[in-house]
Structure 1
Amino acid sequence: MNILMIVTSHEDFGSSGRKTGLWLEELAAPYYRFKEAGADITLASPLGGQPPVDPASLGDDFQSDDTRRFTDDSEAQDLLANTKPLSSIKADGFDAVFYPGGHGPLYDLTDDVHSLALLRSFNADQRPIGTVCHGVTALIKATDANDAPIVEGREITGFTDSEEAAAGATEIVPFSVEQELVKAGAIFKSANDWADYSIRDGHIVTGQNPGSSDSTARLLLDALKA
């Protein structure tokens, strides 16, 4: 079982002066659920190499058993430091793809041509596609062979407008994930702010926020078994 995980290469949070990147828990929890299921994992990013990790995600309040394990795991750290450039990745040979979030993906993975091509290929074969939190931005402009949005008519979740407001980021983000998904035809579903909420609609699995990382990964594994 081969799983591709795609993370952001973008670190500047708009013009706020703040740094962003990937949110560690959204990488670490799925990484270990996939590893525990026996998967081989490939990490890729738009630029390749070491991706930025959102400094806020390294704070004590956001640490979990998985993030601490990832930080102390030399194999995982080496994999993260040497992500493959997305331009070098072919969909063939991968059984599923997963996008962790953080605010970084809003700036590079929404429009990345290589990511969009990979998603078209995964979608065509009905291979599982998973995202959590802002990682769902990768799906907004993804289309099928008929150029229809792959989220159209599907139940999808992601970081909500109310969570964005609670995070003090509404005026910083380039767009609203929730609103753009609705525009693309998704049936946007959500639970209370910060609740663990993940859903599967066919081969597409999405999670609402960082705390949904574990459950989203488990749903992706369920989709693989199906």
Structure 2
Amino acid sequence: MSSPKILVVLTSHDKLGDTGKPTGWYLSEFSHPHHVFDQASATLTVASPKGGAAPLDPSSVEAAKEDDVSVKFLNSQSQIWSNTSKVSEFLGKADEFDAIFYPGGHGPMYDLAVDEDSQKLIAEFWAKGKVVAAVCHGPAAFVNVKLADGKPLVDGKKLTAFSDAEEQQVGADKAVPFALETKLKEEGAKYEKAAEAWGEKVVVDGRLVTGQNPASAKGVGEAILKALKA
């Protein structure tokens, strides 16, 4: 595949429950896959539920201040998240892409987990034989996705996502609308995680590619490209 075409979906949600804290998508979970995709000359299209500017979690900027890849991405690529297209515009267009990818951050827990257009889009990409991927809280977008046979997308599939233990450690377990690990298991997913919290973990089950946390972001990008070649 000479130049893969990837649709990246970011959150439009910018508040962490009723804590008053800002949230959004997480910098390193887009910057590192973007770096991998860029080296492969991939063409990226970026969407969000509301379109326009997709909110970047300021805490993720602080966390990545010593991360050269993220700093460079922050300083040179802001146009790709400051003017996103609406997710709804891509319904019926899965054939124009090779993969769909959801970076994390707490935002997806609030909007992408319940966004019907996003759910339809994921089901469409899956039905068309495309690679479907997410990292950290990104797999929240898979919750409630039903396939043509009525079964949940994640039922019986090996995957990973931000663990309940990690959520507790960041103190957001009371703020988020649900526990992601628990919810995915309830939908039948064969959830896997790293031996220790915050360890890198990438799980590939055919065309489904997932990463557990920020440390897994680069590996998810690499696994997406590998899955596309397969």
TM-score if structure 1 supplies the norm length?
Answer: 0.96
| Residue of structure 1 equivalent to 2:202 | 198
Measured in 1, the distance between the counterparts of 2:198 and 2:165 equals: 10
Which residue, out of 212, 216, 221, partners 2:216? 212
1:142 is displaced (CA, Å) by 1.1
**Contact 2:64/2:70, CA 8 A, preserved across alignment:** no
- Per-residue CA deviations over 1:125-163 (Å, capped at 9, x if unaligned) read 221011000000011111211111111111110000110
Measured in 2, the distance between the counterparts of 1:63 and 1:93 equals: 36
Aligned positions of 1:37-52 closer than 5 A: 37-52=40-55
Could you say if the C-alpha distance between residues 94 and 63 of structure 1 is closer, same or farther in structure 2, counting changes exceeding 3 Å? farther
**Contact 1:157/1:208, CA 8 A, preserved across alignment:** yes
Could you say if the C-alpha distance between residues 152 and 62 of structure 1 is closer, same or farther in structure 2, counting changes exceeding 3 Å? farther
| Residue of structure 1 equivalent to 2:132 | 129
Amino acid at match of 2:167: E
Amino acid at match of 1:40: T
1:92 is displaced (CA, Å) by 2.6
| Residue of structure 2 equivalent to 1:77 | 78
Measured in 2, the distance between the counterparts of 1:201 and 1:139 equals: 14
Number of residue equivalences: 224
Is 1:65 aligned to residue 68 of structure 2?
yes
Is 1:112 aligned to residue 115 of structure 2?
yes
**Contact 2:101/2:134, CA 8 A, preserved across alignment:** yes
Which residue, out of 214, 223, 227, partners 1:223? 227
Which residue, out of 177, 180, 184, partners 2:183? 180
Could you say if the C-alpha distance between residues 67 and 222 of structure 1 is closer, same or farther in structure 2, counting changes exceeding 3 Å? same
Aligned positions of 1:121-160 closer than 5 A: 121-160=124-163
Partner of 1:59: helix, strand, or coil?
helix
Measured in 2, the distance between the counterparts of 1:197 and 1:111 equals: 26
**Contact 2:159/2:191, CA 8 A, preserved across alignment:** yes
Identity %: 41
Measured in 2, the distance between the counterparts of 1:67 and 1:61 equals: 6
Gap regions ≥5 residues in structure 2: none
Measured in 2, the distance between the counterparts of 1:63 and 1:127 equals: 35
1:99 is displaced (CA, Å) by 0.2
Measured in 2, the distance between the counterparts of 1:167 and 1:150 equals: 28
Could you say if the C-alpha distance between residues 150 and 173 of structure 1 is closer, same or farther in structure 2, counting changes exceeding 3 Å? same
**Contact 1:25/1:63, CA 8 A, preserved across alignment:** no
Is 1:30 aligned to residue 33 of structure 2?
yes
TM-score if structure 2 supplies the norm length?
Answer: 0.95
Moved over 6 A (4+): none
Gap regions ≥5 residues in structure 1: none
Could you say if the C-alpha distance between residues 61 and 123 of structure 1 is closer, same or farther in structure 2, counting changes exceeding 3 Å? closer
Measured in 1, the distance between the counterparts of 2:146 and 2:227 equals: 20
- Per-residue CA deviations over 1:70-94 (Å, capped at 9, x if unaligned) read 1121xx2112111101111132301
**Contact 1:3/1:39, CA 8 A, preserved across alignment:** yes
Measured in 2, the distance between the counterparts of 1:66 and 1:91 equals: 29
